[in-house]
């Protein structure tokens, strides 16, 4: 009889399992859409709850019936547009051509943004308008406004947001129009739209191979450790392969989850905030998103919401929300 063995434990789908570089991710990949609007927004994870909705998925056993689904609430204060960054196409990929910043930066960013040479952006934009044929992509430099959220936080996060569309001139005109102004989540997304969520998961520190990969615990009479792999590799091999489950970092890793449906976009967060506020978060006072399902990361973490890059056949499927239970 041949020796019976089982498949290896633990998924190698995400490798290497290292700590994220920072607490909110950098988004470099965007879908190609015709709408001349930002393709990304960011919100703070406030908590989870349940929603009573009417199932409108044809072919579902519960079609046209009330069902209860888990939901995540994101606090989405407006984003402030600080500048515009222009990219040109080179042999080695996209490279920054130039950038334009507003004169009056928020006071909370004085320690974060240093050595910034701010010139007359109106003149610079007039010069760039004559060189639109050199520009490949246009992205907005935006910052969050945590003072308007339920967080007890002051320092904003700064990141880039790409503008959708195919015509560079239309993108340029839109970027010029919103420079120095605020962007709201209700201007970008619609109820029923499918989006991707990108965030950094909850950090759990260093973990052993049993918790990290699901390795089977050794028998009682094992000569060495019990919560350990049986062998690190072949006898004659001069190194340990990267596929061998070993102890290391668990959690605090960047993850992307595709096709989360927006059930509701609210304007006043107090209508959804429970008495006393969300536990370990606070009171939502600005706009908010209600997403179907869960999102990566703990409470208070900044979650990037991007237009779906691999959407279903129907990109927007509005649904009737009867009740939201927190």
Q: Is the pLDDT of residue 73 over 70?
A: yes
Contact 257, 195 (CB under 8 A): no
226-277 pLDDT per residue, tens: 898 888 888 887 899 888 889 999 999 999 999 999 999 999 999 999 999 9
Q: Residue 207's beta-bridge partner residues?
A: 248
Please say if the pLDDT value at position 119 is more than 70: no
Residues of the chain with CATH 3.30.1430.10: 78-183
The pLDDT value recorded for residue 19 is 92
Cβ neighbours of 320 (radius 10 Å): 11
**Strand pairing category for 66-75 and 158-162:** unpaired
Please, are residues 73 and 282 in contact by the beta-carbon 8 Å criterion? no
What's the pLDDT band for 164 if we cut at 50, 70, 90?
very high
Select 13-25+41-76+189-216+246-326's CATH number: 3.40.718.10, 2.40.30.10, 2.60.40.10, 2.60.40.1080: 2.40.30.10
For tokens 């515009």, name the residue: 84
| 79, 143 Cβ separation under 8 angstroms | yes
Q: Are 195 and 308 in contact (CB under 8 A)?
A: yes
Q: What percent of the chain has pLDDT over 90?
A: 69
Does the pLDDT at position 7 exceed 80?
no
Tokens standing for 80? 């402030």
Decide if pLDDT at 95 tops 80. yes
Instruction: Measure the CA–CA gap between 263 and 324, rounded to whole angstroms.
Output: 10
Q: What pLDDT, on a 0 to 100 scale, did the predictor assign at position 142?
A: 97
Residues of the chain with CATH 2.40.30.10: 13-25+41-76+189-216+246-326
**Burial grade of 10 (CB within 10 A; 0-12, 13-18, 19 or more):** middle
DSSP tag of 157: P
For the segment 184-193, the average pLDDT, to the nearest whole number, is: 96
Residue 80: what pLDDT?
96
* CATH 3.40.50.620 matches 78-183: no
So what's the pLDDT on residue 130?
85
Mean pLDDT of the chain: 91
Interval 185-191 mean pLDDT? 96
Give the residue carrying structure tokens 């009573």. Answer: 52
């Amino acid at each position: 009889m041949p020796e019976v063995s089982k498949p290896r434990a633990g998924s190698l789908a995400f490798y290497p399992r290292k700590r994220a570089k920072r607490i909110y991710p950098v988004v470099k990949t965007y879908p190609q859409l015709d709408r001349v609007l930002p393709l990304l927004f960011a919100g703070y994870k406030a908590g989870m709850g349940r929603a009573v909705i009417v199932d409108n998925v044809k072919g579902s056993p519960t079609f046209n019936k009330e069902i209860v689904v888990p939901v995540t609430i994101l606090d989405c204060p407006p984003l402030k547009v600080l500048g515009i960054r222009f990219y040109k196409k080179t042999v080695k990929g996209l490279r920054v051509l130039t950038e334009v910043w507003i004169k009056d930066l928020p006071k909370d960013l004085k320690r974060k943004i240093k050595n910034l040479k701010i010139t007359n952006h109106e003149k610079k934009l007039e010069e760039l308008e004559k060189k639109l044929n050199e520009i490949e992509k246009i992205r907005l430099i935006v910052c969050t406004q945590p003072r308007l959220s339920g967080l007890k936080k002051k320092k904003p996060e700064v990141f880039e947001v790409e503008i959708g569309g195919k015509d560079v001139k239309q993108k340029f005109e839109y970027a010029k129009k919103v420079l120095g102004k605020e962007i709201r989540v209700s201007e970008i997304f619609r109820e029923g739209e499918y989006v991707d969520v990108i965030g950094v998961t909850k950090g759990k520190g260093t973990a052993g191979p049993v918790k990290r990969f699901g390795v089977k615990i050794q028998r009682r009479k094992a000569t060495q450790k019990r919560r350990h792999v049986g062998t690190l590799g072949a006898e004659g091999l001069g190194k340990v392969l990267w596929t061998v489950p070993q102890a290391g970092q668990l959690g605090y890793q960047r993850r992307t989850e595709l096709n989360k449906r927006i059930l509701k976009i609210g304007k006043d967060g107090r209508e959804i905030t429970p008495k006393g506020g969300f536990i370990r978060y606070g009171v939502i006072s600005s706009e908010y998103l209600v997403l179907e399902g869960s999102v990566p990361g703990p409470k208070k973490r900044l979650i990037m919401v991007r237009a779906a890059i691999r959407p279903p056949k129907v990109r927007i499927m509005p649904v009737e929300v009867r009740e939201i239970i927190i």
